[in-house]
Chains A and B, each alone.
Chain A
Amino acid sequence: MKTSFNFKNFFLLLIFLFIFLPYVYLFFYLFFPNFKFVGLNSLAEYIQLIFSIRLFKILFRSLGIGIATAFTSTLVGLTLALILECTDLPASNLWKKLLFLPFLLPSYLFVFTWLGFLGKRGTFTTLTFPNIPINVYNPFFLIFFLTLCFFPFPMFLISLGLRNLNQNLIDAAKIYNSKKILRLVLSLIFPHVLVAFFITFSFVVSEYMVPSFLRINTYQNEIFIQLATFYDVRKATFYSLPLLFIFSLTFLLMYKYFNQNLYFSISSNFRRSLKIWRLTGFKKFLTYVFLIILLLLSIGIPAFVLIIESEGKFLSALTLARWEFLNSIALSFLSAFLVTCSAILILYFFSDRKILNLFIIFPLMIPSPLLAISLIVLTSSFFQQTFLPLLLAYLSRFLPFSLLISLPFFIQIQKNLFEAARLSTSSSFKILRKILFPLSKKSFLNSFILVFILCFSEILITQLLIPPGFQTLALRIETLLHYGNYSFVASLNLISLIFILILYSILFKSESL
């Protein structure tokens, strides 16, 4: 009897191997480092260490900063999303594009320019910024800087949710009781707000370089130290367990909410803004002041410092780093394509299953250096000096973001479309080609842009997995920082920002047609 090839099971096997095997190995390594059982005594020692007051203090500090930053970022993002999508603010698309720009800057550079502006580090340019007597080396300023860096992501995610709302529901609410529209809208987009909060929280808790610039020790730094200073992969893995527990619990609670959510509306129109409220008089003035101040703080000052410090050396900088620039483009394009296709297929095959949350939770739990080390050990025997470990790392690392960006769209797609196609004996490939991809092309584009940007700016994993003879632009810039070659650093950052902006503008323009 002829059996047909089961693409779904094959895909499941591939995904397990590519995404979960490094993590499985990490936990296997706790008990069997170098494939030898070491007994439980050393684990007992680690358990003692992990319950130290010092470590608890650092963990709670990191979580506190994460929650506070996620809260402030989401609040700012929500406010902006409502202003941009639900009011008659002129040129709202332009505002949205400008307000998304801070997310495109690597977070460490963001704080770096601010420290330069405040005169905290001196400069090597002809203009020296005066030292402004503010103590920025505390958690409050860390929260402030990180909020300015990350607020665009909740704004982006919540905007997608708002654009996905059913206009008919809003119109009905207007007729019934116009004063309760805000409550209705907030209820409908609450899942998006929650997802935005969670992702921002994971971004912040995983952040290592920004706290170190501000001399604040975080839990991620402790994990990094175990790897970087004491070369203890087992301890570093064990230190990750509290984060794993916290993220798992948070996401499971959130997922339970998703399952019970009654307010998801279905709309096939992703483009139209709602325009519920009109801005007039003082409200309009306040809105403009809010937007301008936010732009100034998040883009204006960093851009100003970058432009000043570049000293016009764009051509020299680009000549120096031309190969790194091309490398970054090629690597990011390939990675973004791979990640986004994988995300769409996962959502198609597993959207009804609770194990979907595994694809999202576990990659977020594992700090980037740990993932990189496990991949080095796993793949060095088979993929010598290739890019496969790096692509696998990007797949593991950025798949959750692609999934979370695409999930709201997939929830909206009616499952009976697929069932009808199967009943008419369409193959899986035909269903993917004729139904899934056309319906999900907008989420594909959004996911692609986001993953491209994340890959373009990624440093930590790249450094550990990149094959010799190859360097990305982000690595090159970060290395140039060490020499105080700020003019080249600023020039290259401006060039990469312009490039990303062009890509971003083109893709978003095509989406609106």
Chain B
Amino acid sequence: MMILNKKIGVFIIGIILLGCLLFFFLPKEEKVVVVYVAHDQDYSEPILKKFENLTGIKVKALYDTEATKTVGLVNRLIAEKNNPQADVFWNNEMIRSILLKEKGILQPYCSPNAKDIPSFFKDEDCYWTGFAARARVIIYNIQKINESEAPSSIYDFINPKWKGKACIANPILGSTSTHIASLFALLGKEKAKEFLLKMKANEVQIVESNSMVRDQVVAGECWFGLTDTDDAWDAILAGKPIKMVFPDQDGMGTLVFPNTVMLIKNAPHAENGKKLIDFLLSNWVEEELARKALQIPLKKDVKLPENVPKVEEIRMMNVSFQKIYENLNESTQFIHNIFLT
């Protein structure tokens, strides 16, 4: 009886192992496109499913996580340069798209759907194309700060009145690093460094992510903070006691940055990749992202929900993305040495 039980046990384990092996090593599908997605999965996944249903092309998506936001996928693309696995990269900002272009990871593709996207938001050589933008905004807790004295500029982060009351996300990753680099590009290196040193002296708290900034402001741990429009609107729509401000509308302007999509050089399924890019640059996708994720459409004839502004209504920072990219390394090194001790 014991021998029989042992044999049955070994048989069951063998079946489970075989099942796992088959599960992992099933034959690959031919009609497929592989996309690395830095954009939030809850919003991007339904869009990719729609593409699957329309075209019959199976989408294999790899999503980023909060811990490694964007950079995990960028690292992976760089590491895979000599043998790319991805066909398309859907990035949620543009600076690392420029980085990938500089490193020769991308190949140009001029999508017909990109024609009505403003040239400011796309690469002139068609290496990457922007769509569905976000803006860097200040959110403040209305239980802590009256509307009359609400912060409206990034210079409020160095105002001694708000010492220890403000927070920003990790300044060496994600959109915050892009924002810091844009200050280097716009203000010049010396003035930007001076501003950041004053920020540190004013005890601005560094939290893990933009969503954490939102959470901290909602909780009242920070009275105000710098985050992205989609994070801010999540809290506003949930009825939390915060308000949002586009900073420096009377001054330097607000940083508005798009999602970007690009074709990977020597992509295994380049033609399917191009179809996916065309789809992502369609009006429907911008409308969908505006409706569900409150992203700001870049195309003019896209229907806007009520609470989403037109991109023309926002006074944007007058600095090119290329210049922001050129300042990224130095600004990040500076921040790294000053804030992360």
Contact = CB atoms under 8 A, between A and B. Distances in A.
B175 interface: no
B173 A228 contact: yes
Contacts of A122: 215-220, 240
Interface stretch (A63-71, A72-80, A213-221, A256-264): A213-221
Contact of A478 (B42, B66, B75, B207): B66
Contact of B80 (A212, A376, A481): A376
Given A337-B17, A376-B76, A481-B66, A468 B214 contact: no
Contacts of A469: 34, 58-62
Contacts of A217: 340-341
A387 interface: yes
B337 interface: yes
B177 A229 contact: yes
Interface in A461-512: 463-464, 466-469, 471, 475-476, 478-485
A380 interface: yes
Interface of A: 54, 57-58, 119-122, 124, 131, 137, 208-209, 212-213, 215, 217, 221-222, 225, 227-231, 330-331, 333-334, 337, 369, 373, 376-377, 380-381, 384-387, 459-460, 463-464, 466-469, 471, 475-476, 478-485
Interface stretch (B19-27, B117-125, B251-259, B312-320): B19-27
19 contacts: A120-B219, A122-B216, A122-B217, A124-B238, A212-B170, A229-B172, A229-B173, A230-B333, A331-B20, A334-B20, A369-B75, A377-B79, A380-B82, A464-B75, A464-B76, A469-B34, A469-B58, A483-B40, A483-B211
B150 interface: no
A482 B66 contact: yes
Nearest to A379: B83
Nearest to B58: A469
A463 B72 CA distance: 8
Contacts of A209: 67
Given A333-B20, A478-B65, A481-B66, A468 B85 contact: yes
A319 to B, nearest CB: 14
Contacts of B115: none
B67 A463 contact: yes
A230 B329 CA distance: 7
Contacts of B72: 228, 463-464
Nearest to B74: A231
A230 B336 CA distance: 11
A122 B36 CA distance: 31
* Chain B: interface size category: 35 or more
Interface string B265-302: 00000000000000000000000000000000000000
B116 interface: no
A481 B215 CA distance: 11
Interface in B109-156: none
A75 B111 CA distance: 63
A225 B40 contact: no
B332 interface: yes
B205 interface: yes
A373 B72 CA distance: 10
Contacts of B64: 463, 479
Q: Indicate the member of B35, B68, B74 with the most A CB atoms within 10 Å.
A: B68
Nearest to B210: A482
B36 A468 contact: yes
Contact of A121 (B24, B34, B66, B221): B221
A334 B71 contact: no
B165 to A, nearest CB: 14
B74 A384 contact: no
Contacts of A334: 17, 20-21, 24
A231 B75 contact: yes
